[in-house]
Structure 1
Amino acid sequence: MPLSPELAALLASPAPAQLPLPPAAHPAPGARLLRGAVYAAPDGIRPLELDLWLPDEPHGPLPVIVYLHGGGWRTGTRTDMGPRFRPWHPSPFARLAQAGFAVASLDYRLTGEATHPAQLEDVTAALAWLHARAGELGLDIGRVVTWGESAGAHLAALLALTTPVLGCVAWYGPTDLTTLPAQSRPGTYDATSPTTREALLIGAPLATAPDRARAASPVSHVTADAPPFLILHGTEDALIPLAQSEQLAAALRQAGADVDFRPVPGADHAWAGLSDADVERCFTTSLDFARALTAQPPTRV
């Protein structure tokens, strides 16, 4: 029996951009946190949320960092910048807010919920939510930098290459799923397996779905309009080969885009093998890159 128009309207979910914002918490000096703002509500799964970190005393509209967590697209949480940062107090997100940024750290659908391009659709929807609420939140949506680690770096790169943003920070992310098996250490990658992280992302083994693998690869979306990239990747990464970041850097250079590619000597995946000082240096280098890109006057109130 069809619903009456009145009942259908009553039961319809409100648009996320119209929902009340969460109350602010103050987890660190100089930073406030709006935890768990719903930015999208895909049918059939959980609402997708973001945490928005803000400086306590903003000076004009804020530049924005859109942060995307790692976890092989199948695990991970928006509260986590990776295992080496879990002991940090204040957290890396609080430090970015203290440095004058708004930081939107996002959920996105995991591969147990949906396959590519759902994840890119989600993070694009989050950017649209930030646009819609920029005025009430005091954001300068013309000054956005994407930042991600591992699988999140893959999504940060895709978002930066498919939407207008100022730049991208990519830490040890996969960039070309078609070449990843051959670049991996001998005997460690089975391109015919349906259970690899990448196969679960595209919904098929890489060897049997090259077109899907190519469409999900950041290198396939590089154009002359690409924004500046900072790419950091450990030279000893046993999970995502350094060659993946080399390949993205080469594609960006060939297109005429600005890219700062920095291999990190001795680092394994997730900055394993680095000293605390070197991990801090990776973070500071990335913050400095975002700060330099967003240093121009605000573009929108």
Structure 2
Amino acid sequence: MAGLLEISRVGVDSLPQDLHYRVTDSNTGETVANVSPVSVGETPQESGFKKMRKAAKLGPQLSRQPALRRYVPRITVVVTDAWNSAVLFVDRAEKIVGNPYVPHCAVVEPGGRVAGYLTDDHYKFPRPSEDDVDPDGMGVIGGRRHLRDQAGEALCDVVFRFAMPSMPQELNHDPNVDTTRFIGQNGTVWARRRGGNPVVEISPDAPQPLRTLILAAAIAETIDEDYHRPWPDSPYTPPPPLQAVPDPYPGYADVHSRYMEYQQEFVEWYRKHMTGRFTSSL
């Protein structure tokens, strides 16, 4: 059986219990890792008055957006291999009220060394213009989501591709068409998804620590599907709290400190600049 960081086709399956997942080698169907929570923050219990104050601060236009109103606590999961040994932690920062976008994740080794980060540029608009197309004529969203090393340097741009209205929409489900590409700084495609398949295909030439970050991104995006629900008809239940005693890894308390400052600044910027604007894309 190939090791977790050696497989070329990564599948992540949700299990019935909250925040439990199974990582599989999609070439063989074998389970190569399990994911389980080690720390989940509390969701604040707020009175109707506090909710009304927050809605008033956002304004009538923005307060109708569920992704803005919703608070999601910090979620930390551990990835364990077939021998139940910890391989890495995926630590998703809390998403505060007023931020509609996916929060950053830290990818941390068992000893506390940060392997890298999964980041989202909140200031970049999440919809492409008609000019945002690649040589194949596919619409692209790039330059927003990145895999970064421990120093914050971008290693990969996570680029989403989809058929524009003038193209056959079947292309979005064609198993031969890339719908997500993990593109290195030199233009190399290190990993991809095809069609509507959630499996991540990793190049055999992908180096470390990039391979670890691609694996972590596949896990983090599965968590996002469960807890980042921006549409009014999307049901949302906060994850059950789980207090870690002691901290899951050294440095746990401060790993998101810089991002939380960024998030607070963004929330203020967003409230001032987006009030009254068209926000249905959130």
Would you call these one fold, judging by a TM-score over 0.5?
Answer: no
More helix by share: 1
The answer to which structure, 1 or 2, has the higher relative contact order (CA under 8 A, 6+ apart) is 2
Which structure has more strand as a fraction of its residues? 2
TM-score for the superposition, normalised by structure 2: 0.27
TM-score normalised according to structure 1 size: 0.26
